[in-house]
Structure 1
């Protein structure tokens, strides 16, 4: 039995790519043809390096995107101005650390406009370029499986807040309708679709701090309903969903327990579930999957994060193999894919992990998967 490897999606971008992205972000003049050429070349190299590291199911590294959620402001109408900036509650509890992060450039800066009008697609042209770049890179490396990230309705509502629709339900419904074509375009291209859903966990201590855990779980359920609506007609076998508590090094003492959002997560219309299980705040939660095994649908494939994405420690392959084996023991090796806790380049030009170390960690992930494959 060979245990496959993947990761959450974003990878470090080269400086020329970052320069192009921020020139566009700031509204500065740039050569569109040179921009496209840079994205094509960088995506090809990103795919090559994933294959070199031993990753089986690759992505484009989200090369052309400013971030995994706010890219939608460039591809959809209805966004302008700026949204309130809410620091996670755990960082507010340690103001000296939060100030140090700001002073050290440890918090990314990028536009987060409000929703001030009807959300409608501007067309799938930018997405089609990303798809073409990824598929060309895959073909050059002989890779069969690739995935592309897309923002979920819930995470868009987290970062690009509503100032147009009458309530959250209406905003989520509008986002679900608007994002549907993007999701279908990715799947129709022969790629797997990954929905990034930190709204199911991160937003608890970032936007909904005034709610109880039980009240928040109801909100998260509303987000899953909107996502499932957008996914209607798409084969769940082609869909991955990633839950996250925030891809930053910090205390994370306000993170809601996996046990409390477990049922909500399992209700997503997807085959692959990606989640954190390596960082010091969530590594113990593999036991939730063990203890609630009966509640894991038979068609679900677990993709635990077996390397952390906020530290420059490179995990020993034996530790990675141990982490993989835990989940293989719960649902069987055929229903486990080894992944990462989160992305390594969630925001363009920003990442806690050195780019070369990021690929070394992917290499450790792959080596750990090979060790585990020989044991399960």
Structure 2
């Protein structure tokens, strides 16, 4: 039987969405504790007992209920962002063309909106959010105990993914200066979360793959800086308990052809240099369902690190097709049957979160619950 988990964000309640729409910070403050607690309790319960089933996931999250997105709350926990000026990152024309080709109805929405605009950076960023991060972790610990969750984690961004969405402005000399300064500052959030016993940390690092897909304007090519992004994570978690740390990589939680995704055979060796205990990866959708073959080839030439577990994405969060338990089991065996890996190093997971940003989900909640039920049942098949 495999352990099971998902990737952080889950469907926010109507009350939470309303508060987030009114929030200027991307985060709900503590004056609404009762609403947050109710929403997080529901998110955890849905993971533990999808559709009322007796068994569900074994490693759950708080659903990111108090945040509008995994990166949008960042200005609320840092000093250095402008309170007036906003700016958008420059993504490649290839990315926009790929997105529009698959979703032509989005063209006018994107043209007429400021969806990618976020607070501009005016000065070097200094982390100030220890109290918020610790309280979030303490709340998660209490709910996990009350609801009977074996393990619970709090998602938080990697240093590199912040560089994806927030251009550095004139505060930093270059990309590397910006990246490693963020590494030093975000280490404070990581330590704050892990200071709460019984709570684990997930570092959301789509920069390790998605940044190539988006064509992010880093002034450097993706594969020239990928190793530095891994190092920035390792620097930030140095001295912290690796068995309580997971890192999630993905290619972007959006529906498109994903023809611009990076070559996994070049990404995988860098991922395996992470000092985290668990890697959470995207492998359920049609574009990346063949990635286990790349893993197999890599392991034949090298070895699988014995200190790293892999939460394999076996649930596609962008498709309404509900995987059968048998399909889940097969996808898990596609990785665990590889030499030197084995079931002890594999967990069942989802490709990404179900609601990465508030109100932006890929499938309806009821379908997501069916998917989680299949995940739990498939992981239990012999």
Q: In structure 1, what is the equivalent of residue 269 of structure 2?
A: 263
Q: Which residue of 2 aligns with 1:24?
A: 23
Matching of residues 30-69 of structure 1 within 5 Å: 35-53=32-50, 54-69=56-71
Show the counterpart of 1:169: 176
C-alpha distance in structure 1 between counterparts of 2:130 and 2:180, whole Å: 20
Structure 1 Cα separation of the partners of residues 79 and 25 of structure 2: 18
Contiguous gaps of at least 5 residues in structure 2: 51-55
Task: Summarize deviations over 1:276-321 as a string: whole Å, max 9, x none.
Answer: 1111111111111111113421111111100001111111111011
Deviations 1:302-354 (CA, angstroms, capped at 9, x unpaired): 11100001111111111011001111102111111110000001001111111
1:58 is paired with a residue whose SS is strand
What SS does the aligned partner of 1:113 have? strand
Aligned pairs, number: 367
- Deviates further, 131-140 or 266-275: 131-140
What residue is the counterpart of 2:236 in the other structure?
230
More strand by share: 2
* SS of 1:249 mapped into structure 2: coil
Task: Give the SS at the match of 1:296.
Answer: coil
Instruction: Spell out the pairing of 1:1-376 with structure 2 (5 A cutoff).
Output: 2-25=1-24, 35-53=32-50, 54-80=56-82, 81-87=85-91, 89-93=94-98, 95-103=100-108, 109=115, 111-163=117-169, 164-190=171-197, 191-208=199-216, 215-293=221-299, 294-330=302-338, 331-371=341-381, 374=382
TM-score, normalised relative to structure 2: 0.90
Q: Is contact 1:6-1:338 (8 Å) kept?
A: yes
User: Mean alpha-carbon deviation: is it higher for 203-212 or for 315-324?
Assistant: 203-212
Q: Measure the CA separation in 1 of the matches of 2:73 and 2:181.
A: 17
SS of the residue corresponding to residue 77 of structure 1 reads strand
| More displaced 10-residue stretch of structure 1: 81-90 or 217-226 | 81-90
Native 8 Å contact 2:25 2:73 kept in 1: no
Is the Cα contact below 8 Å between 1:8 and 1:242 reproduced in 2?
yes
Quickly say closer, same or farther: Cα 1:26–1:236, change in 2 above 3 A: closer
Pairwise CA RMSD of aligned residues?
A: 2.4
| Residues 1:336 and 1:95: Cα distance change in structure 2 (over 3 Å) | closer
| Equivalent position SS for 1:306 | strand
Q: What is the CA-CA distance between 1:132 and the residue it aligns to?
A: 2.6
Change in Cα spacing, 1:142 to 1:290, as seen in structure 2 (3 Å) is: same
Q: What SS does structure 1 have at the residue aligned with 2:347?
A: coil
Partner residue, 2:53: none
SS of residue paired to 2:38 = helix
8 Å Cα contact 1:276/1:282 also seen in 2: yes
CA distance in 2, matches of 1:7, 1:368: 14
CA spacing shift, 1:87–1:354, aligned 2, 3 Å = farther
How many Å separate the matches in 2 of 1:255 and 1:179? Answer: 27
- Are the counterparts in 2 of residues 153 and 227 from structure 1 also a CA contact under 8 Å? yes
TM-aligned CA distance change 1:62 to 1:210, over 3 Å: closer
State the shift of 1:87 in Å: 4.8
Query: Is residue 258–residue 287 contact of structure 2 (8 Å, CA) maintained in 1?
Result: yes
The structural deviation recorded for 1:94 is 6.2
TM-score when scaled to structure 1?
0.91
